[in-house]
Amino acid sequence: MIRKYQDLTKLEMESVDKKKNIVLIPLGALEQHGNQAPLGTDFLIAGTMPEYIERELYKKDKDFPMLIFPPMPVGLSTEHMNFCGSVSFRPDTYYHLLYDIGASLAHHGFKKLAFLVCHGGNTPIVQVLSRELRRDFGVYAFILSSGAFDHPDVKATVSPGNIWDFHGGEMETSMVMAIDPSLVKLETSEAGEPTAFEGNKSLMPYGKVSISWMGEDWKTKDGTPIGIGGDPRGATPDKGRIILETSARELVQGLLEIRDFNISDSE
């Protein structure tokens, strides 16, 4: 059964099989997502993605053993701090915050934690943390990336010519529109590109040869820092639903394998 962690009483929690149940911890962020999408975009996605995952899992296992932890509203957003409204932990604060959550869950006997990363900037901390939790507590911390942005069905939602779409672009804006269209102000949209890398064959903001990019590396055509990648103007709620559904579906097999992952050998 999939339940929200915070909904259980103490007695109900006592009867949870801690070895079997996965604790899914959605990790959001509170940071600028361009003119048109809300600061809480990644938090909204972190709150909604588990519902989509639950629906997809139900098709495979009606009794999937998982507790959904409250989504984390703030993450590591150093790269967006020079844009109004962005809020970030420092890397060590964020590490220790997640470490303490992991330690508490381990204290109660949970063995399988699954971090659902809904903001790419959180990933490096979670990668370091997951290994430390395993070493320190014997807890298995799995990492799930929330957006299936390379999936052909997701790529097909992006308008032709919108080649830089990622943070705060058409895909993320579409996801917010699928959740709550009133939060998106599409008429204020401006496109962002990493203009400093134009013409480069290898060095890019991300990839094999990359830079620790900051939001201001992403600019509008006239050179104004905008801090988003891509052109949000083609975003629609229907595209958002396709992205959320596809992304959830892409995680199902992994979650079934986490469910079946045998931890008894290593204890």
Applying CB under 5 A, the residues found at the interface with Zn ion are 41-42, 172
C-alpha span between 258 and 118 (Å, rounded): 19
Of 170 and 172, which has the nearer Cβ to Zn ion? 172
CB of 167 to Zn ion, least distance (A): 6
By beta-carbon proximity to Zn ion, the closer residue of 79 and 172 is: 172
Q: Between 172 and 217, whose beta carbon lies closer to Zn ion?
A: 172
- The residue among 142, 155, 167 whose CA lies nearest residue 217 is 167
* CA–CA separation, 153 and 240 (whole Å): 11
| Cβ closest to Zn ion, residue 5 vs residue 123 | 123
> Residue 71 region, left (φ>0) first, then alpha (ψ -120 to 50), else beta?
beta
CB of 168 to Zn ion, least distance (A): 6
Is the Cβ–Cβ distance between 165 and 137 less than 8 Å? no
Closer CB to Zn ion, residue 21 or residue 189?
A: 189
Smallest distance from Zn ion to CB 217, Å: 16
Sign, CA torsion 214/220/222/224: negative
Q: Is residue 151 helix, strand or coil?
A: coil
Token reading at 15: 């009867």
Q: Would you state the structure tokens that stand for residue 91, as one six-digit string?
A: 């890397």
Closest approach of Zn ion to the CB of residue 172, in Å? 5
Residue nearest to Zn ion (CB): 42
Q: Nearest distance from residue 121's CB to Zn ion, in Å? A: 9
